[in-house]
Structure 1
Amino acid sequence: MGVTVRVPAKVNVQLAVGPARPDGFHDLANVFLAVGLYDEVTAAPAPALALSCTGPGSELVPLDETNLAARAALALAARYGRRADVRLHIAKDIPVAGGMAGGSADAAGALLACDRLWGTGASQAELLDICAELGSDVPFALVGGAALGTGRGEKLEPLDVGGGFHWVFAAAEGGLSTPAVYREFDRLAEGRRVPAPAADEQLLAALRTGDPHALAARLANDLQPAALSLFPALRDTLATGSAAGALAALVSGSGPTTAFLAADESAAERIAAALTASGHCRTARTATSPAPGATVV
């Protein structure tokens, strides 16, 4: 018998990035929305830790202890003084290396699945503490919904959302390394003052009212210039979605997935069809937000 947990992708509707810190990280004001694209992580008893993965892009997913899901299982086992005797199977549907936190989602899913499988009874606070040790985006994958992430993004403040938003996500051919995008951000920032990151109050108000037009006017990603510098073809994808009627278009997180906010479901379908026909992306998927966090299914 195993335990399966469903975990959502995310989109950053605001990603404000501060200057590099002495430890190499950057302070962030990161407004997360969980979106209805999901991976599923199944934990089952096994003689020792083992991983498998299926789904789009699964050939790019490491199946050793460098995988965040494996690290999550090891961290929980170490905290409770037990062996990580578990087999983790990841069924991918979130784009791999796409800036939608698929690896972080898998870590949160593995953590919750192992907690339930082993009966460790960890509190939400304990799970979030382990999540923060694993990576900046992992805590949000556990809680889902909408949140403002500060620090490296791991300190979360839940946000109110007054309605649903319709999105299209275009997956690119190829991936981008998040550390490489941050290095390019630092290179592009040389010689200029980078302000301390702060949440956009007008954007937060747009979330509270559930107004897609107001939200579209405030979408922002400080990593987008760096992602476009490393992956210039994304400009064509952004232009295609905008021409098809998107209210706003931006690179999702560190990319290279691009995100398009639509006025409604039918507009999202039209934008996805135009992107698919353009040849500028590998796939185009529609999804809604906000979505729940890691959930046992």
Structure 2
Amino acid sequence: MTEAVEIGGETRAGRVHVRAPGKINVFLGVGEVLGDGYHEVATAYQAVSLYEELYATEAADFTVSFRGPIDTSGLRTDETNLALRAARILATHTGYAGGVRLEIEKHVPIAGGMGGGSADAAAALVACDALWGTAVPRDELHELAAHLGADVPFALAGGTAIGTGRGEELSPALAHGTFEWVLALPDIELSTPEVYAELDRHRERHRAELGTRRTPVVEPAVLQALRAGDPHLLAEVLTNDLQAAAIHLAPQLAKVLETGERAGALAGLVSGSGPTVAFLAEDHDGALGLQIALSAAGLHAHRVTGPVHGARVIG
């Protein structure tokens, strides 16, 4: 099975390296709770150049370990780990009888609303498929990814896409040019289920004014801005239905948003369920100045660009 490295993995026998991106939801509309307990959403994803690096090596069983510039001490390495689940589901699907050792170098914030765990799972699917030589068609990998989580199919696909259902039903979206983003990473923890629960509580309290939620859709103006490759147009339509709930649970986020917008960002929004805040800049120089200003304010700040490719083997 070591021949799998010939399709793009590292030259070291029996080892494959895959890179998978984090994401920003440039639009996130949240509908009602579905029968499976998840909310119906309509989102515009953009993959950005903050990557997870995964290395897969042949082994008799399934293990995962972490390293990288962020604290990974709280991550689970048992059978509940999403990357391990991805490897196991692929083995079951293909009838592969061996195992794999996964080593993940993490750069995407943990529980930061950028889909880092989903990127790990997508990377594991691609890496194990290459390592084991199972040659699963891409559409089948997508189906396996959808069983693992709503954001996993997009981490597999990358680029810019519209997600519906729980977010796993993807359709490509045209996006011209490159968008410049600066990510502010406040030292705050937010639970995705709790942010959704807070949104539900808010809607219940104000149901008389808000009425019944309709099926969410991505606004046409968002698609137009992406097609035009115009950051000014996109800045006007950045939307996240979870943002108010995230700020209610972590009021510090309001100050982060204010800091970035005062420093020259065209617009900012909480990414997904937070707490990462994504600021859209006009151009490269604007992004550099914004990064410097946010760092001076005591925030961890990263410049990234989008869209970028999804999970792929690195040669």
Q: Deviations over 1:206-237 (max 9, x none)?
A: 10010000000000000101111111111111
Q: Does 1:249 align with 2:268?
A: yes
Query: Equivalent residues in 2 for 1:1-297 (5 A)?
Result: 1-55=14-68, 56-83=70-97, 85-190=99-204, 191=207, 192=210, 193-279=212-298, 281=299, 283-297=300-314
Q: How many residues align structurally?
A: 295
Structure 2: tracts of 5 or more residues without a match: 1-13
Per-residue deviation, 1:292: 0.5
The whole-number CA distance in structure 2 between the counterparts of 1:15 and 1:161 is: 17
Larger gyration radius, structure 1 or structure 2: 2
Per-residue deviation, 1:268: 0.7
Per-residue deviation, 1:84: 5.0
Identity %: 51
Per-residue deviation, 1:253: 0.5
The whole-number CA distance in structure 2 between the counterparts of 1:287 and 1:57 is: 20
Structure 2 counterpart of 1:83, one-letter code = A
Tell me the TM-score normalised to structure 1 length: 0.97
Per-residue deviation, 1:175: 2.2
Q: Are the equivalent residues in 2 in contact too, given 1:16–1:198 (CA < 8 A)?
A: yes
Q: Secondary structure at the match of 2:76?
A: coil
- Out of 44-53 and 132-141, give the one that drifted further: 44-53
Q: Secondary structure at the match of 1:287?
A: strand
Q: Are the equivalent residues in 1 in contact too, given 2:199–2:242 (CA < 8 A)?
A: yes
Q: 1:84 to 1:140 in 2, by over 3 A?
A: farther
Q: Secondary structure at the match of 1:58?
A: coil
Q: Secondary structure at the match of 1:59?
A: coil
- Out of 160-169 and 19-28, give the one that drifted further: 19-28
The equivalent residue for 2:11 is none
Structure 2 counterpart of 1:107, one-letter code = A
Structure 1 counterpart of 2:111, one-letter code = A
The whole-number CA distance in structure 2 between the counterparts of 1:46 and 1:174 is: 37
The equivalent residue for 2:4 is none
Q: Secondary structure at the match of 1:184?
A: helix
Q: Are the equivalent residues in 2 in contact too, given 1:73–1:84 (CA < 8 A)?
A: no
Q: Deviations over 1:63-102 (max 9, x none)?
A: 1111110000010011112235100011001111100000
Tell me the TM-score normalised to structure 2 length: 0.92
Structure 2 counterpart of 1:37, one-letter code = L
Q: Are the equivalent residues in 1 in contact too, given 2:188–2:250 (CA < 8 A)?
A: no
Structure 2 counterpart of 1:54, one-letter code = R
Q: Secondary structure at the match of 1:23?
A: coil
